């Protein structure tokens, strides 16, 4: 089984790639800039390949997907995990910042889905899991672009699930809790404090727990178009 995890050089993507690797799956480790980190992840997985692409660029994404299918014959699981945040109030968010966040977090998954789903349709099998965020459901002050991109990703998930169901391709979205990855750790103290205060379990989320859920979800059948909140914050 071939699993492609975008942004698996570090953070949650790394945890997902390692969890797939522990299950003996073939894993594509994808990165944008951090080749060395990606290679370190790949070295811990029996069958892996390391490939780079800027998710914002369709041609790079298409070429990566073609390389994977030439080498391994198809893609069974695509996890759209790569993402960025830029903290700024709406009125102080520049057009460049807005475009960067939306192009990475929303257009990136669109690019991968457009490139990978024809192969999934052809093999009449596949599962796409999009990593969204509670911010895309509830909104977060200072994260307008990020929240908009993650809300868009939920709409994209549901629409693609409707289109691809007849081809036996499932599409779901997952909302991880607040994790102290590079992204989470960079958040300001107020945001971290609010995440803890709102958490019924009074704790941050562990990427390894999120990764285990995603692995299990990827192996299920008959679940599509759903949004899974992996947090103890109430929506």
| Closer of 54 and 212 to ligand NAP (Cβ) | 54
Residue nearest to ligand NAP (CB): 11
Binding of ligand NAP at residue 142 (CB under 6 A)?
no
Q: Tell me how far apart the alpha carbons of residues 28 and 85 are, in angstroms, rounded to a whole number.
A: 24
**Distance in Å, CB of 79 to ligand NAP, minimum:** 10
Residue among 180, 201, 200, 207 nearest 191 (CA): 180
Show the tokens assigned to 94.
């520049």
CB closer to ligand NAP out of 21 and 184? 184
Give the Cα separation of 153 and 227 in Å (integer): 10
Q: How far is CA 53 from CA 28, 56, 57, 108, 168, in A?
A: 12, 8, 8, 10, 27
Q: How many CB atoms lie within 10 A of CB 201?
A: 11
Kindly state whether residue 40 participates in binding ligand NAP, applying the rule CB under 6 A.
Answer: no
CA dist 46 and 38 (Å) reads 14
By CB under 6 A, what part of segment 180-219 binds ligand NAP? 181-184
Closest CB 17 distance from ligand NAP, rounded Å: 10
Q: Is 152 in the site for ligand NAP (CB under 6 A)?
A: no
The residues binding ligand NAP (CB under 6 A) are 7, 9-13, 31-34, 37, 54-56, 81-84, 104, 131, 133, 176, 178-179, 181-184
């Amino acid at each position: 089984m071939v699993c492609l995890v975008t942004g698996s050089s570090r953070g949650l993507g790394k945890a997902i790639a390692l969890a797939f690797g522990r299950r003996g799956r073939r894993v594509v480790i994808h990165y944008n800039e951090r080749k060395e980190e990606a290679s370190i992840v790949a070295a811990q997985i029996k069958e892996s390949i390391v490939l780079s692409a800027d998710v914002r660029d369709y041609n790079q994404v298409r070429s990566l997907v073609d390389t994977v299918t030439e080498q391994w014959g198809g893609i069974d699981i695509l996890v759209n995990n790569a993402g960025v945040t830029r903290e700024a109030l709406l009125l102080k968010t520049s057009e460049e910042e807005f475009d960067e966040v939306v192009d990475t977090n929303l257009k990136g998954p669109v690019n991968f889905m457009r490139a990978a789903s024809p192969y999934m349709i052809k093999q009449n099998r596949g599962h796409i899991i999009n990593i969204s965020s509670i911010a895309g459901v509830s909104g977060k002050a200072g994260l307008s672009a990020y929240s908009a991109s993650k809300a868009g990703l939920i709409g994209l998930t549901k629409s693609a699930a409707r289109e691809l169901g007849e081809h036996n391709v499932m599409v779901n979205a997952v909302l991880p809790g607040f994790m102290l990855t590079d992204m989470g750790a960079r958040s300001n103290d107020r945001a971290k404090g609010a995440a803890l205060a709102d958490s019924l379990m009074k704790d941050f989320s562990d990427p390894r727990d999120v990764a285990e859920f995603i692995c299990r979800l990827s192996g299920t059948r008959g679940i599509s178009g759903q949004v899974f909140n992996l947090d103890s914050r109430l929506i």
